[in-house]
Amino acid sequence: MAEKPVYLDHNATTPVDPRVLEFMLPYFTEHFGNASSRSHPYGLEAAHAVEFAREQIASLIGAEAKEIIFTSGATESVNLAMKGVFETYASKGNHIILLETEHKAVMDTASTLEKKGAAVTILKPESNGMIQPDLLEAAIRPDTILIAAMYANNETGVIQPVQAISAIARKNGVLFFTDATQAVGKIPVQVEQDGIDLMAFSAHKMYGPKGVGALYVRRKQPRVKLTAQLDGGGHERGLRSGTLNVPGIVGFGKAAEICKQEMAADTKRLAKLRDKLEHAFLQMEEVQVNGDTNHRLPHVTNITFRYIEGDGLMLGFNQKVAVSSGSACSSALTEPSHVLIAMGLTADQAKSTLRFSLGRYTKEQEIDFAIKAISDTVMKLREISPLWEMYKEGMDLDQFNWPG
C-alpha cells in the first residue's frame, strides 16, 4: 500500500487521540446503557458518564455543566442556536447580524431564516478578515435580536475581537452567538470573560470523535431561552431530544480534558512549525499570506500562490500532502472561497490559495517534506503558465483586458 500523504488539514478534522479512543471503547460494549434509562444500573452508569463529560467540557470553556447541550455536531448546534433564538425572541424583533466570512452552516441557516421572515444584515470585514466593531454597532437596529460572529475563521485562522463584539451586543441588549468550532481546544476560550451567550463547537476538531458536538447556552445574566428544533423525549433540558451518543460524549469529554492540559504546549510547538512553513513559501515570488497575522490561530496559515491556474495546484501534490483550498464543507464546489472574496481577493487568487492547518501529531520532517513538494509543484506550474510568463514580462494582469 502506498504511503499516506502528509496530513496538514486539521481544520477539516483531526484524528482521534488514542487516549480518547481508549476511554470510549468500554461504552460501546461493557457500559452500553441508555443515559435516559435511570431505573437500573446500566442506565445510571451511562448517565453518570455523560454528566462527567459535561463537566469536563464546561471546565474547558469556563461554563457551568448545565449550560452544555449535547448535539450531533457544530452544524446542528448552529441551527439550534440561530433558529431557536429567532423563534423565541420573535416578539422582540427579527433582525440578525452576521459576518460575510461566516461558515456555510451559519450563512445557510440565515438564508433559511430569511425565508421565514428574518431580516439579515451581512457585514463585510476588513481586508485582514477582521470586523470593525464600529461597523457592527452601526448595524444594530431596535429589532436586532442576534449577532453571529465566528470566533476564529476556519479558512484563515483569523480571530475576531470577540470581547469587543460581545460588549457591543450586551450594551444594546442583543444576544451574541459565536461559532467557535475552530477555536475551542486550540486557544483559551472562556465564555464569561468573552461575554458569549451562545457558542457552537464540535468534538472532531479537537481530537475527539465525529458525530458529537455541543451548544453552550448561557443560563444567567442573561438567561438565554431557545425553541427546540427536535421534538420527542425532552432530552437535554428539553432543547435537543434524542438518545444521547454516550460513547461519543465520553470521548468528547476526554478530548476536552486533554486539550485543557496540553493546549499551551501544543500552541507553542505548532506556531513554530507554522511559521517555518510560512517563511519558506514567502521566499518565493508572488506569494502572500491572507488574514491578520497578529490575531489568528497558532496552527493555521492561508497562502496564495499567484499566477498559477488554480485547478492544477492541488493536483500537483495531492498524493503527497493533504491540504485544503477552503472549507471542508464546500471543498467539492468549484466556486472560489467566499471568505477570501469577502477579504478582497479575486476569484483567480482565491482559487490559487491553500489552507494549511497543523495538528498535535504534525512532525517537523513532515513540514520540510510539504515545503519541498508544494514549492516544486508551484515552480513546475509557473514554468508552463502563460499568466506567469506575462507577469515576468511586466504586464499588470490585474488591469489586463481579457478578450471575450
The C-alpha atoms of residue 370 and residue 374 are separated, in whole angstroms, by: 6
For residues 56-83, average pLDDT: 98
Among 235, 258, 281, residue at a domain's last position:
258
pTM for the model stands at 0.94
Q: Does residue 297 sit in the same domain as residue 247? A: no
Q: Does residue 233 sit in the same domain as residue 273? A: no
Q: Is residue 398 part of a domain?
A: no
Q: Does residue 180 sit in the same domain as residue 311? A: no
Rg (the chain; Cα; Å): 22
Question: Which residues are catalytic, by number?
Answer: 329
Q: Does residue 174 sit in the same domain as residue 146? A: yes
244-260 pLDDT, tens digit each: 999 999 999 999 999 99
Torsional class of 184: left (φ above 0), alpha (ψ -120 to 50), beta (otherwise): beta
Give the DSSP H/E element, type plus range, for residue 200: strand 198-202
Q: Does residue 234 sit in the same domain as residue 196? A: yes
Q: Is residue 327 part of a domain?
A: yes
Domain containing 50 — which CATH number? 3.40.640.10
DSSP structure string for 276-337: HHHHHHHTSTTEEE-S-SSSB-TTEEEEEE-SS-HHHHHHTTTTTEE-BSS-GGGTT--SPP
Which residues pair with residue 341 across a beta bridge?
none
For residues 71-84, average pLDDT: 98
pLDDT > 90: percent of the chain: 83
Per-residue model confidence (pLDDT) at position 107? 97
Q: Is residue 1 part of a domain?
A: no
Q: Is residue 328 part of a domain?
A: yes
The C-alpha atoms of residue 76 and residue 277 are separated, in whole angstroms, by: 34
Among 241, 258, 275, residue at a domain's last position:
258
Q: Is residue 39 part of a domain?
A: yes
Domain that includes residue 328, residue range: 6-11+263-392
Report how many domains make up the chain: 2
Q: Does residue 235 sit in the same domain as residue 137? A: yes
Give the lowest-confidence range in 225-229, 284-288, 307-311: 307-311
What's the half-sphere exposure (Cβ side, CA atoms, 13 Å) at 241? Answer: 9
Q: Is residue 132 part of a domain?
A: yes
For residues 312-323, average pLDDT: 87
192-230 pLDDT, tens digit each: 999 999 999 999 999 999 999 999 999 999 999 999 998
Reported confidence tier of residue 154, pLDDT bands at 50, 70, 90? very high
Reported confidence tier of residue 314, pLDDT bands at 50, 70, 90? confident
For 79, 224, 397, 398, the CA distances from 394, given in Å and listed in that order, are 50, 58, 9, 12
Q: Does residue 62 sit in the same domain as residue 206? A: yes
Sheet order of strands, 213-217 included: 68-71, 213-217, 198-202, 175-179, 144-148, 95-99, 119-123
Q: Does residue 313 sit in the same domain as residue 329? A: yes
Query: In this structure, are residues 128 and 78 in contact, taking their beta carbons and an 8 Å threshold?
Result: no
Reported confidence tier of residue 398, pLDDT bands at 50, 70, 90? low
Q: Does residue 141 sit in the same domain as residue 193? A: yes
321-335 pLDDT, tens digit each: 999 986 445 444 568
Average pLDDT, the chain: 93
Per-residue model confidence (pLDDT) at position 399? 60
Neighbours of 314 (CB within 10 A): 17
For residues 359-364, average pLDDT: 98
In this structure, what is the dihedral angle of CA atoms 233, 235, 237, 238, given to the nearest 10 degrees? -40
Which stretches of 96-161 are DSSP H helices? 104-115, 133-139
The C-alpha atoms of residue 392 and residue 383 are separated, in whole angstroms, by: 11
121-142 pLDDT, tens digit each: 999 999 999 999 999 999 999 9
Among 200, 231, 258, residue at a domain's last position:
258
Q: Does residue 76 sit in the same domain as residue 180? A: yes
Per-state percent for the chain, helix, strand, coil, to nearest 5: 40, 15, 45
- Indicate whether 336 pLDDT > 70: yes
- Indicate whether 402 pLDDT > 80: no
In this structure, what is the dihedral angle of CA atoms 24, 28, 34, 40, given to the nearest 10 degrees? -100
Closest CA to 175 of 87, 59, 82: 82
Q: Does residue 148 sit in the same domain as residue 277? A: no
Q: Does residue 215 sit in the same domain as residue 278? A: no
165-197 pLDDT, tens digit each: 999 999 999 999 999 999 999 999 999 999 999
Reported confidence tier of residue 339, pLDDT bands at 50, 70, 90? very high
Domain containing 342 — which CATH number? 3.90.1150.10
Reported confidence tier of residue 287, pLDDT bands at 50, 70, 90? very high
Give the lowest-confidence range in 95-104, 178-187, 269-278, 333-342: 333-342
Closest CA to 255 of 13, 11, 27, 17: 17
Q: Is residue 142 part of a domain?
A: yes
Per-residue model confidence (pLDDT) at position 12? 97
Q: Is residue 397 part of a domain?
A: no
Per-residue model confidence (pLDDT) at position 397? 66
